[in-house]
Structure 1
C-alpha cells in the first residue's frame, strides 16, 4: 500500500528539503520504491539531487497547470529515488491554479496514476502556507513537521497546525499528523532540549526520535548532487536511517513511532 508523506513547515531553514532527500534515500536503501516531489519554486530539492532546475524542459509546474502526465517529468537520481522536479516556473502556479475549480486537489490528481508504482511518495512543501502547500497536504496521507531546535523556530508551528486542521476539515479528512521532527539538534545544549519540551507541552505534538544532529555533512551532500546517504557514514545519515526504520515499522509493521518521552 502506497503512503504519501508531506514534509511541511512555512519557516525556511529548518532542514525540510534535507529531510525529504535524506529520508527518501534511506527508505530506498530499505528496498522501498520512493518518489520525492519538489513543490518549492526555488528547486532546492531538485538541485540537491543532482539536477539543475534552470536546464529542465518540464517540471511539476507543467503537470499541475498544463495537464502533462507526471511520468513524462520523472527524473532518476543517484540515491535511487525518483524525482518530480521543480523550476522557477512554479512561482506562477498559484496564480494559474487560483482560477481553476478544485485547485487544492491538483497534486492529488497528478499523483494518482503513480501510486501503484511507488511504496512511498514524499512531498517537499514550500516554505509558505499558499496553494502549493495546501496541495501537498491535500494529497498526503500524513504530515511531518521538521523543527529547528531554537526558540524562534517554533513560533509558526501553531499557524501550521491550524492549517493542517483546516485541511482535515475541508479537503483531506484522513490526514494524519505524525509529529515534529527535531532538526539541527545539538545535544550538548540545554537550550535545544528545552525547546523540544516546550513544543511538546505547548502544542501537544509528538516529537519524533531520533533528533537529526547539526552537521556540515548535509551541506556537503547538497553541493555534491546527492543526499547524505551517498557519502561517508555520518551521525546525520544514521539518524535518517533510524527514522526510516521507525516509519516503515509504523506504516507496515503496526508498531508505534519512536518518540521522545
Structure 2
C-alpha cells in the first residue's frame, strides 16, 4: 500500500545569485583575490543542449570517504526533482547513509523482514522496482541498502559487473533520472555502478585530497571505459567544502587536467549544511539561503535543463 501522496513534500525551486562561470582558470590572479567559480569547458557547453536529459543514469563516485558523495547525490536529486524530473537514488553503500538521510516510506502492510533493498537485487531475489520506495518528497524515490550489502563485494557468486546495468534496464518504473551513490571503495559495487552509468560525477573534498587515491580513481574510471562501459563519460567534478586558498586552486587545476572533458563545480563550505542529515532534510530545505544549496542548485541546472512536457 503506497503512502498518502497528499502529505509528501514538494521540493522548492530555488533562485540565488549564481557564481561566475568561466571556461578556464585564470592562474595569474593571486589566490587571495580568487573567487569561487564554476568551470564549464567550451566543448561541454556546446554539447549539453543537444544530449538526452531523461532516462539517464549518473554515478557519484570517489573511493575516499568524506568527499561529499552522499550530499552531492542528495542535493542533485533535490535540484532535479524541483526542476520537474522523477528521480530515483540507489544507495550502493553498505553504510546506508543515504538511506538513513532519506528514510524510505515502507508500506505499512509489509513486515520489516520482507522489505527489499539493493542486496536483494544483486542476489536476484527481487527486481529493482520492487526494491524502490517512496520518500517524504514528491517524485523522489530510493533503493535503500543495509550492512548486508557489504557481502556483494566479497561473495564470488555475485561476479557480474553488468548486474546493476541490467537491473536498471529492466525497470518499468517511470523514472527520468537515476543517481547511484557509490561506496567509499573501488570494488565490485563501484564497478557495477560505473558500468551502469551514463555519466560519472566525482566529488572531492578540497581540504582532504588524497593524491594517490585520486590517481587510482582516475585509472579505475578509464579501465571501465575501456572494458565494460565505453559510453561512460566523466561529466563533472565537485570541489566540496571549498575555501579560498592556493591549495584549493591547485586541486582545481589538477582535476581539470585529469578530466578535461568535465565541468568543475565549486561547492562552498557551510558548517550548518553539514547538519542537514541529522534533520533528515536536503540542504536546500534545511539551509535554503546558504551557499552550499545555491552552488548545488546552479550546478544541477547547468547539467540539465528543466524537464520538458512531452505528453
The Cα of 1:164 is off from its aligned counterpart by 1.1
Q: 1:200–1:32: structure 2 CA closer, same or farther, 3 Å change rule?
A: same
Question: Aligned match of 1:20 in 55, 64, 73?
Answer: 73
Question: Aligned match of 1:4 in 53, 57, 62?
Answer: 57
Answering whether residue 154 of structure 2 is matched by residue 95 of structure 1, we say yes
Q: Say whether the 8 Å CA contact 2:122–2:158 is kept in structure 1.
A: no
User: Which structure: larger Rg?
Assistant: 2
Listed as ranges, the matches of 1:12-161 within 5 Å are 12-51=65-104, 57-80=115-138, 81-96=140-155, 98-100=156-158, 103-114=160-171, 117-150=174-207, 152-161=209-218
The Cα of 1:150 is off from its aligned counterpart by 2.9
Q: 1:204–1:66: structure 2 CA closer, same or farther, 3 Å change rule?
A: closer
Question: Secondary structure of 2:263's match?
Answer: coil
Q: 1:170–1:251: structure 2 CA closer, same or farther, 3 Å change rule?
A: farther
Provide, for residues 206-254 of structure 1, a one-character-per-residue CA deviation record: whole Å limited to 9, x for no partner. 56344111112332210111211222312111111111101114999xx
Listed as ranges, the matches of 1:180-259 within 5 Å are 180-187=237-244, 189-201=245-257, 203-205=258-260, 208-233=263-288, 234-249=290-305
The Cα of 1:52 is off from its aligned counterpart by 10
Question: Mean Cα displacement is larger for which, 148-157 or 74-83?
Answer: 148-157
Task: Return the TM-score normalized by structure 1.
Answer: 0.86
Question: Aligned match of 2:226 in 153, 160, 169?
Answer: 169
Once residues 121 and 208 of structure 2 are traced to their aligned partners in structure 1, the CA distance between those partners, rounded to angstroms, is: 38
Once residues 261 and 306 of structure 2 are traced to their aligned partners in structure 1, the CA distance between those partners, rounded to angstroms, is: 14
Q: Say whether the 8 Å CA contact 1:147–1:154 is kept in structure 2.
A: no
Q: 1:244–1:115: structure 2 CA closer, same or farther, 3 Å change rule?
A: farther
State the number of aligned residues: 247
Once residues 115 and 133 of structure 1 are traced to their aligned partners in structure 2, the CA distance between those partners, rounded to angstroms, is: 24
Provide, for residues 114-155 of structure 1, a one-character-per-residue CA deviation record: whole Å limited to 9, x for no partner. 376111110001010100000000000010110111363343
Partner of 1:256: none
For structure 1, the residue ranges without an aligned partner over 5 or more in a row are 253-261
Question: Mean Cα displacement is larger for which, 133-142 or 73-82?
Answer: 73-82
Partner of 2:26: none
Task: Return the TM-score normalized by structure 2.
Answer: 0.73
Once residues 48 and 21 of structure 1 are traced to their aligned partners in structure 2, the CA distance between those partners, rounded to angstroms, is: 9
The Cα of 1:20 is off from its aligned counterpart by 0.2
Question: Secondary structure of 2:249's match?
Answer: helix
Q: Say whether the 8 Å CA contact 2:163–2:192 is kept in structure 1.
A: yes
Q: 1:85–1:41: structure 2 CA closer, same or farther, 3 Å change rule?
A: same
